């Protein structure tokens, strides 16, 4: 029952699906079933989760602030994992630290007079890269982020159901 | 002066910065006759308006007494004598504001529609009209407490125009986005305030992130039980996934659900779908 004309091949969903499935197969290819210890399982879980986030962020490219921030975070984390003494990494983390501190300053100053400061700050922590946004952009990014998260959840649910049969 | 202050109707401070113009006076004259189409017996406010305005003006001009009584007569005759003391925009706002309150309370909407274009002609920004639309109800309630109304207006009048306009635009944007989010996030009711909606949104985002984590856990568990490295299996799986997604998309669209490509309230929604 293939209805290929119903599925948009360039939609967010399909892009994410292809990327994620590719990453999943790669992960499964790396580790044959030697993993029975909880640490191994946990490592694989982390890898799958990172793959999910990464494939979603890559599907959105840098069009959105949150995807850019997420890609950046993932990249800096991967650099840290690979090469703990790299100068590049330290540069990136320094940038991250400085960015974060400046963002914190701006957020503390951001008493917009609109009155939802605590909720807005909480939302900023949830949405990646949220610290840099004012409330208007934050709401925009939140909406897109929710949409992408729902896509992610849908696709992952289907994949998980498929595997659990 | 003392009589009017005893009525405790209005404080003259908003008018202190007003430059008198004949133009606004004639517009006030235009507005004036229309107000008296309303039922005079119903509200005493009608007679109060021109009097109070004159009250404040007289406080500016320090010419009391005779012209006040002149106005008392004039208010019933629907003709404003040539008192070129009149205002600028805040006064016109107030006049049309009060008129609108009366209109709404008397449910004669014809006057409000006739006053509002004139108000906009005077150059009052439309945001004030919309603000007044919202505040008309509060004006109704506050008919016995005109001081509160005055405070609201004074706040608006005191802010510099560019600032308040920019703020209003920002707030309008934020409200619009919140409304779009309302459609996306389940469990948001229109009656909820902003803070509650933000809480709901936060909960929803957290639940989605938790779902992603849980599903990735499930996938790890599933993958540890399965053993395939073959390409063909992966391709089959992908094809089956696509078919399933197509089916689900169909189903979602049939249900009219605001799904993947349907977030139409954002200006950049076109970038979501095709690319």
Q: Which residues of A touch B208 (CB under 8 A)?
A: 146, 149-150, 153
Whether A41 is in a domain gets the answer yes
Q: Does A98 touch chain B (CB under 8 A)?
A: no
Whether A118 is in a domain gets the answer no
Which pTM does this prediction carry?
A: 0.51
The yes-or-no verdict on residue B175 having pLDDT over 70 is yes
Q: Does A103 touch chain B (CB under 8 A)?
A: no
Kindly identify which residue of chain A lies nearest to residue B178, measuring between CA atoms. A139
Which of A14, A127, A143 lies nearest to residue B266, judging by beta carbons? A143
Whether A112 is in a domain gets the answer no
The yes-or-no verdict on residue B121 having pLDDT over 90 is no
**pLDDT tens for residues B38-52?**
444 444 444 444 444
A148: containing domain: 9-80+127-164
Q: Which residues of A touch B257 (CB under 8 A)?
A: none
Query: What is the count of structural domains for chain A?
Result: 1
Whether A108 is in a domain gets the answer no
Number of A to B CB contacts under 8 A, please give it. 182
Q: Which residues of B touch A11 (CB under 8 A)?
A: 260-261, 273-274
Kindly identify which residue of chain A lies nearest to residue B168, measuring between CA atoms. A114
Q: How many CB atoms lie within 10 A of CB A5?
A: 7
- Distance, in Å, from the CA atom of A121 to the CA atom of B130, rounded to the nearest integer, reads 30
Residue B167 DSSP label: H
CA distance A52 to chain B (A): 8
Above pLDDT 70, what percent of chain B? 24
Q: What share of chain B is helix, strand, coil (3-state, %, to 5)?
A: 75, 0, 25
Which of B185, B241, B263 lies nearest to residue A158, judging by beta carbons? B241
Whether A104 is in a domain gets the answer no
The answer to whether A57 touches A74, Cβ cutoff 8 Å, is: yes
- Distance, in Å, from the CA atom of B13 to the CA atom of B62, rounded to the nearest integer, reads 14
pLDDT, position B186: 85
The answer to whether A115 touches B198, Cβ cutoff 8 Å, is: no
Task: Pick the closest to residue A146 from B198, B130, B151, B228 (CA basis).
Answer: B198
- Mean pLDDT of each 10-residue bin along chain A, 165 residues long: 62 85 82 70 85 87 85 84 60 50 48 69 84 83 90 88 77
- Burial per residue of A12-44, b for 16 or more beta-carbon CB atoms within 10 angstroms, e otherwise: bbbbbbbbbbebbbebbeeeeeebeeeeebeeb
Q: Which residues of B touch A44 (CB under 8 A)?
A: 220, 223-224
Number of residues written out for chain B = 275
CA distance B242 to chain A (A): 7
Q: Does A137 touch chain B (CB under 8 A)?
A: no
Alpha carbon B17 to its chain's center: 26
Whether A40 is in a domain gets the answer yes
Q: How many CB atoms lie within 10 A of CB B113?
A: 11
Q: Which residues of A touch B170 (CB under 8 A)?
A: 112, 136
């Amino acid at each position: 029952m293939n209805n290929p004309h119903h599925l948009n091949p360039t939609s967010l969903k399909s892009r994410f699906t292809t990327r994620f499935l590719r990453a999943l197969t790669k992960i499964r290819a790396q580790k044959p079933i030697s993993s029975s210890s909880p640490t191994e399982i946990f490592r694989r879980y982390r890898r799958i989760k990172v793959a999910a986030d990464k494939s979603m962020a890559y599907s959105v490219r840098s069009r959105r602030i949150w995807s850019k921030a997420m890609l950046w975070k993932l990249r800096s984390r991967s650099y840290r994992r690979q090469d703990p003494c790299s100068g590049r990494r330290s540069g990136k983390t320094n940038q991250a630290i400085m960015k974060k501190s400046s963002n914190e300053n701006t957020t503390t100053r951001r008493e917009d007079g609109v009155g939802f400061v605590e909720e807005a700050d909480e939302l900023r922590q949830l949405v990646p890269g949220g610290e840099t946004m004012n409330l208007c952009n934050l709401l925009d990014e939140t909406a897109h982020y929710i949409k992408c998260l729902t896509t992610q959840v849908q696709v992952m649910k289907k994949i998980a159901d498929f595997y659990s049969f | 002066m003392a009589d009017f202050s005893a009525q405790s109707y209005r404080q003259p401070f908003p008018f202190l910065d007003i430059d008198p113009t004949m133009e606004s006076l004639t517009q006030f004259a235009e507005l004036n006759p229309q107000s008296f189409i309303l039922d005079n017996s119903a509200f005493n406010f009608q007679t109060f308006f021109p009097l109070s305005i004159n009250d404040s003006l007289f406080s500016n001009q320090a010419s009391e007494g005779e012209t006040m009584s002149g106005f008392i007569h004039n208010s019933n005759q629907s003709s404003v004598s040539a008192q070129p003391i009149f205002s600028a925009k805040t006064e016109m706002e107030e006049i049309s504001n009060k008129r609108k309150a009366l209109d709404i309370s008397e449910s004669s909407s014809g006057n409000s529609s006739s006053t509002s274009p004139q108000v906009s002609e005077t150059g009052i920004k439309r945001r004030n009209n919309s603000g007044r639309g919202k505040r008309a109800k509060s004006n109704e309630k506050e008919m016995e407490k005109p001081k509160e109304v005055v405070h609201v207006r004074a706040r608006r009048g005191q802010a510099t125009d560019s600032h308040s306009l920019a703020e209003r635009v920002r707030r309008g944007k934020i409200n619009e986005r919140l409304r779009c989010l309302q459609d996306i996030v389940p469990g948001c009711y229109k009656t909820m305030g902003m803070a509650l909606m933000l809480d709901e949104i936060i909960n929803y985002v957290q639940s989605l992130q938790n779902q992603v984590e849980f599903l990735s856990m499930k996938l790890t568990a599933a993958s540890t039980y399965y053993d395939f490295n073959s390409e063909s299996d992966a391709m089959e799986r992908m094809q089956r996934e696509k078919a399933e997604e197509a089916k689900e998309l169909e189903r979602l669209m049939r249900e009219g659900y605001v799904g993947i490509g349907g977030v139409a309230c954002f200006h950049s929604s076109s970038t979501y779908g095709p690319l």
